[in-house]
Copies of this chain bind each other. A is one copy, B any other.
Amino acid sequence: MIRATEDQEYYELSSPTALPKASGFLWNEQMMVHMNCRGYAVAQFMQPEPAKYSHAPNLEAKTFMQPEQPYYAHHPGRFLYVKDEESGALFSAPYEPVRVLPDQYTFAIGKHQLVWKLEHNGIGVEMSLSLPRVDAMELWRVRVTNLSGQKRNLSIYPYFTVGYMSWMNQSGEYNEALQAVVCSSITPYQKYQEYDRIKRLKDRTFLLADRQPTAWEVNNEAFEGEGGISAPSAILQERLSKGEARYETPVAVLQYSLSLEPGEEQEYRFLFGPAKDEQEITRVRQSYFLDRNSAGEDGFVQAEREYAEYIREGRGSIAIHTPDPDFDNFVNHWLPRQMYYHGQTNRLTTDPQTRNYLQDQMGMSYIKPKMARAAFLTALSQQIVSGAMPDGIILHEEAELKYINQVPHTDHCVWLPVCLSTYLDETNDYGILEELVVFAESEEVASVHEHINRAMDWLLQARDERGLNYIDQGDWCDPMNMVGYKGKGVSGWLTIASAYAFMIWAEICERSGQLQNSEEYRLAAQETNAVINEYLWDGNWYARGITDDNVVFGISEDQEGRIYLNPQGWSLLSGAADLEKQQKLIRAVEEQLETPYGVEKLAPAYTAMREDVGRVTQKHPGTAENGSVYNHAAAFYIYALYAVGEREDAYRLLRKMLPGPDQEDILRRGQLPVFIPNYYRGAYRQIPHTAGRSSHLFNTGTVPWVYRCLIDGLFGLQGNREGLQVKPQLPADWQEASVTRWFRGVELQIEMKREAGVSATQVYVDGRHLVDGIIRDLNSDAGEVKVMVKLPVAEME
């Protein structure tokens, strides 16, 4: 039912009903489209804020992307109705809205295109979606084949939702000269001050066809009639009535009547997207359908090819072959793709949260380090002179801080050294530390080194008399807006994270010759760790924080929110937890937070508001931050397990982040393993029957941390100043694995094998044993490097 193709270019699903929300997504430099197996779509483009060209049937709220989004009959979609002109039988591809189960069905999620192939009543339909590299529009192919033994007379009706564009002005009509449905609207506004902005918006939606249709309908009400969207009255007629929409809800439906001999096929191509005006649509038609390049390709074909190339540019820095083929497929194909998406689009926002921006670009260090470098400098140029980082990074001159970025969070500085360290490991570009960067709202300019010193100093001063970091209205991944809004509450996690950041920064300082700073921040880390152990250790794990009214929470006495994941993992890294504490807290996490679907962010999930903690306690138990398997936090915890050598626990949890090879697990989660969602439903012990479900949201800081788990942990192929440190932590039951590692311009072929008689990891390059496991003198001109790693035969735990 669910499988990867042999070339692993596609993930395939063979039923539209078994996994009804199964979906794939495509993006380019201006847009994103998320389509599910049944034909429903969520698409947005940037101008500069996210906007839609295919709307809901009502006036939808503008908001951030929602988890577990519900679909409904008139949810925006892309469909093809197919009518047999003789029998009158009707079905639709991919499945919605007629919902006739086809005889054969495949939904294939590719890296650069989505494909549906189906057969019904002797008719084959193939639909595919790709994007151009730059323009905001969808490239659709529809192929109809007569698979039966006799001639068939059909009408096909490509259907593209336009929806409720605007209460102020909307209309739609078919433009014969353009061979296009053109729907127009004006974004509603009331204050004249907004006019300059709205008049520049792409308020038109077009559907351009590569050939003249037999008929069309642009008026949704006229199209549906009493039959409704699942059996439109207009389709019962021989011809659509060429209607237009005048303030009514528009739709773009074309009719092509065709006769197919046995075996004959016809292909149609469409462009669907937003435009400013008819001139723009005319230009699009010219360049995609009329102009041809020297190879005879029109713009459509060229765009598909260029888009495939664009996606290929997003290759990761490892390719693996292990005893776990599903894992290999995900790591080799889908994980870097998701990471690339984050780095390229910054989640289609103009004001990414600072921590998200830094982590997304941390991931980009493995793919396009130059982009990561530029992004780090952009972020630092918005730091204020005190060292504080803003809540979001403004990426467009018209952008402003929105939604959660209007709530002051205190953790952003932590991420600077943490994320930069990956960039440095991967590139060895310590020169970035000498770059001069301005401060926001200031004339002052300082080196990156000085910028990060100030960020660390800011964390050192934003503390109470005990030395614990203030939480203000929130920190990472727990929207705890009421712990510290009165100015006294502190964050356990943030204090621990600060200690880790000081340590990381001390190491970077040491490696870059800033020995005094190094010593200073190492001392700060130690002192912070001491404070942590004095105030936050609860006996078996670390507390999450202390409220304005001095109530410690995330402790054994609490009935709900007794243990939080984040303080535990980070304390493994900061050095706060000694060996005994490490074992205790790892056991506590396993007992209280681990589930078949991963490790939960807190437990037991809150079922009622706790007014001294705040918003997290009002989220639905098991979703988002309230007790879900929040993969971002989980990935960090796994990273920490690798850091302290807990390879078996780490791999077990890592594997749970992806749906398992068994179909039941995939069904449970409701998602194909083509991306890691931001969460799986948690509250496993409280609400077992919903636990494990995917949020279906692919925006998440999880992915670069999974990549770091692989590079720094599982395969142990992390860069340092001298070269590549090889130090794998394969799970005990893997006898071997091979990895191709692209690193600083060199391709390394690394074979890892367990061998009897080997007592510790041994690294060989061209037969030469490297005692410290560091491969030095990498030369990008010298061709492929062959590495052999011998590992002891493991005792199974």
User: Interface on A for B, CB 8 Å cutoff?
Assistant: 17, 56-63, 66-70, 72-75, 99, 164, 167-171, 186, 189-192, 195, 199, 220-221, 226, 228-230, 246-249, 403-404, 406-407, 473, 479, 481-482, 485, 609, 614-615, 618-620, 622-623, 681, 687, 689-690
Chain B positions within 8 Å of A220 at CB level = 70
A619 lies within 8 A of B407 (CB)? no
CB within 8 A of A191: which of B195, B481, B619, B622? B481
Q: A192-B473, A195-B482, A481-B191 are in contact. Are A66 and B228 (CB under 8 A)?
A: no
Nearest B residue to A101 via CB reads B226
A407 lies within 8 A of B167 (CB)? no
9 nearest CB pairs, A to B: A73-B73, A57-B72, A169-B620, A72-B74, A192-B481, A61-B61, A59-B61, A247-B620, A66-B167
13 cross-chain CB contacts under 8 A: A57-B72, A59-B60, A60-B61, A61-B62, A74-B74, A168-B618, A171-B620, A191-B407, A191-B473, A195-B482, A228-B230, A246-B620, A247-B620
CB within 8 A of A68: which of B61, B247, B681? B247
Q: Closest Cβ of chain B: how far from A632's Cβ, in Å?
A: 18
Nearest B residue to A164 via CB reads B70
B58 lies within 8 A of A246 (CB)? no
Nearest B residue to A184 via CB reads B620
Q: Oligomeric state, in number of copies?
A: 2
Chain B positions within 8 Å of A614 at CB level = 192, 195
Q: Closest Cβ of chain B: how far from A166's Cβ, in Å?
A: 9
Nearest B residue to A225 via CB reads B17
Complex CA distance for A331 and B730, rounded to whole angstroms: 85
Q: Besides A17-B226, A70-B164, A192-B614, 8 other CB < 8 A contacts?
A: A58-B72, A60-B60, A74-B74, A168-B620, A186-B618, A190-B404, A192-B407, A195-B614
Chain B positions within 8 Å of A72 at CB level = 57-58, 73-74
Chain B CB within 10 Å — which of A57, A67, A220 has the most? A57
Q: A74-B73, A622-B247 are in contact. Are A190 and B406 (CB under 8 A)?
A: yes
CB within 8 A of A407: which of B74, B190, B482? B190
Complex CA distance for A687 and B171, rounded to whole angstroms: 12
Complex CA distance for A485 and B190, rounded to whole angstroms: 13
Q: Closest Cβ of chain B: how far from A236's Cβ, in Å?
A: 14
Complex CA distance for A75 and B164, rounded to whole angstroms: 13
Nearest B residue to A687 via CB reads B246
B17 lies within 8 A of A247 (CB)? no
Chain B positions within 8 Å of A191 at CB level = 406-407, 473, 481
A70 lies within 8 A of B58 (CB)? yes
Q: Closest Cβ of chain B: how far from A188's Cβ, in Å?
A: 9
Q: Closest Cβ of chain B: how far from A429's Cβ, in Å?
A: 37
A199 lies within 8 A of B609 (CB)? yes
B170 lies within 8 A of A620 (CB)? yes
B169 lies within 8 A of A99 (CB)? no
Chain B positions within 8 Å of A75 at CB level = 57-58
A59 lies within 8 A of B66 (CB)? yes
Chain B positions within 8 Å of A623 at CB level = 169, 247
Complex CA distance for A482 and B191, rounded to whole angstroms: 9
Q: Closest Cβ of chain B: how far from A340's Cβ, in Å?
A: 28
Chain B positions within 8 Å of A619 at CB level = 168-169
A485 lies within 8 A of B192 (CB)? yes
Chain B positions within 8 Å of A228 at CB level = 73, 99, 230
Chain B positions within 8 Å of A479 at CB level = 190
A615 lies within 8 A of B190 (CB)? yes
Q: Closest Cβ of chain B: how far from A191's Cβ, in Å?
A: 6
Chain B CB within 10 Å — which of A75, A479, A615 has the most? A615
Complex CA distance for A99 and B224, rounded to whole angstroms: 13
Chain B positions within 8 Å of A186 at CB level = 618
Chain B positions within 8 Å of A221 at CB level = 70
A403 lies within 8 A of B190 (CB)? yes
Chain B positions within 8 Å of A63 at CB level = 59, 167
Nearest B residue to A247 via CB reads B620
Q: Closest Cβ of chain B: how far from A620's Cβ, in Å?
A: 4
Complex CA distance for A170 and B70, rounded to whole angstroms: 13
Q: Closest Cβ of chain B: how far from A77's Cβ, in Å?
A: 13
Chain B positions within 8 Å of A73 at CB level = 72-74, 228-229
A58 lies within 8 A of B59 (CB)? no
Chain B positions within 8 Å of A164 at CB level = 70
B615 lies within 8 A of A189 (CB)? yes
Chain B positions within 8 Å of A60 at CB level = 58-61
Complex CA distance for A248 and B689, rounded to whole angstroms: 13
Chain B CB within 10 Å — which of A63, A67, A168, A482 has the most? A168
Q: Closest Cβ of chain B: how far from A769's Cβ, in Å?
A: 56
Chain B positions within 8 Å of A61 at CB level = 59-62
Complex CA distance for A687 and B247, rounded to whole angstroms: 11
Q: Closest Cβ of chain B: how far from A608's Cβ, in Å?
A: 10
Chain B CB within 10 Å — which of A168, A615, A620, A690 has the most? A620
Chain B positions within 8 Å of A62 at CB level = 61
Nearest B residue to A71 via CB reads B57
Nearest B residue to A481 via CB reads B192
Q: Closest Cβ of chain B: how far from A756's Cβ, in Å?
A: 52
Complex CA distance for A67 and B167, rounded to whole angstroms: 8
Chain B CB within 10 Å — which of A74, A164, A406 has the most? A74
Complex CA distance for A404 and B191, rounded to whole angstroms: 8
Q: Closest Cβ of chain B: how far from A378's Cβ, in Å?
A: 25
Complex CA distance for A612 and B368, rounded to whole angstroms: 49
Nearest B residue to A185 via CB reads B620
Chain B positions within 8 Å of A69 at CB level = 58
Q: A167-B67, A190-B406 are in contact. Are A246 and B690 (CB under 8 A)?
A: yes
Chain B positions within 8 Å of A17 at CB level = 226
Complex CA distance for A406 and B190, rounded to whole angstroms: 9
B482 lies within 8 A of A192 (CB)? yes
Complex CA distance for A377 and B515, rounded to whole angstroms: 76
Chain B positions within 8 Å of A230 at CB level = 228, 230
CB within 8 A of A190: which of B66, B246, B481? B481
Chain B positions within 8 Å of A58 at CB level = 56, 58, 60, 69-70, 72, 75
Complex CA distance for A391 and B348, rounded to whole angstroms: 38
Chain B CB within 10 Å — which of A70, A221, A226 has the most? A70
Q: Closest Cβ of chain B: how far from A646's Cβ, in Å?
A: 33
Q: Closest Cβ of chain B: how far from A223's Cβ, in Å?
A: 12
Chain B positions within 8 Å of A403 at CB level = 190
Chain B positions within 8 Å of A689 at CB level = 246
Q: Closest Cβ of chain B: how far from A335's Cβ, in Å?
A: 27
B226 lies within 8 A of A99 (CB)? yes
Chain B positions within 8 Å of A57 at CB level = 70, 72, 75
